[in-house]
Amino acid sequence: MSEQPPRRVRVVSPRSRAVRTSGSRAVSRDIGEQTIVGEVYMASLVRIQLRLAIGVLLILTVLLGGLPLLFLAEPDLVEVLVFGLPLPWLLLGVVVHPVLVAAALFYVRRAERNEADFAELVENS
């Protein structure tokens, strides 16, 4: 019926926390509601995490998947003794395990960094 008063506008310093929080809420709401913007953000995160996963799996394929080929190509590796153990036994029985743990730690650090970067991106936009 009557004319509405003009909408109130909150004026804040661009460096204050209030601005960043409201911005972040907007993008995270986009993500939560799967708007086009939100989908683009999520797709970028999924892509970068998938690339990391494929990278680690490729390294694993080359390092471990290559071992049978190596044994096939060099059957006399079994004559090579390291600390009294035939090399294939040492590789499969001992060396593999620290390598796997190192790969796991590498992955965890990178995946967490990707997520931190993503969170920062969302908060600063």
Partner 1 sequence: MGHEVQGGLAIGLVIAATVLIGAFGLRLSRTTSDFYVASRSVSPVWNASAISGEYLSAASFLGVAGLILTYGADMLWFPVGYTAGYLVLLVSVAAPLRRSGAYTLSDFAEARLESRTVRQVSSIFVVTIGWLYLLPQFVGAGLTVQLATGAPGWVGGLLVAAVVVFSVATGGMRSITFVQAFQYWLKLSAIAVPVLFLVLAWRADGMPTPGDGPPTFADRTPVEVPADLRFDVVEPVRVLVNGVLDGQRYVGEPVVLGRGSHEVGEGALLTFPAGSTVPHAATVEASDNASWARPLTAVGDRDHPVYSTYSLILALFFGTMGLPHVLVRFYTNPDGRTARRTTAFVLALLGVFYLFPTVYGALARLYTPDLLLTGRTDTAVLLLPERLIAGTGGQLLTALLTAGAFAAFLSTSSGLTVSVAGVLAQDVLRGSVRDFRVAAVLAVAVPFALSLWARSLSIADIVGLAFAVAASSFCPLLVLGIWWRRLTSTGAAAGLLVGGGLATAAVTATVGGVDRGGWTGALLAQPAAWTVPVAFLVMVVVSRRTPGRLPPHVGRTMVRLHAPESIAVPERRVD
Instruction: Single out the residue of 73, 95, 74 nearest to residue 83, CA to CA.
Output: 95
Q: Which two tokens stand for residue 85?
A: 């153990």
Does position 58 interact with partner 1 (CB under 8 A)? The reply is: no
Q: Which phi and psi (to 5°) does residue 82 adopt?
A: -120, 125
Contacts of residue 10, defined as CB under 8 A and 6 or more positions apart, other chains included, come to 18
Does position 18 interact with partner 1 (CB under 8 A)? The reply is: no
d(CA 32, CA 34): 6
Does position 60 interact with partner 1 (CB under 8 A)? The reply is: yes
Shortest approach of partner 1 to residue 10 CB, angstroms? Answer: 21
Residues near partner 1, by CB under 8 A: 24-25, 28-29, 31-34, 38-39, 42, 45-46, 49-50, 52-53, 56-57, 60, 64-65, 68, 71-72, 75, 78, 86, 88-89, 92-94, 96-98, 100-101, 103-105, 107-108, 111-112, 115-116, 118-119, 122-123
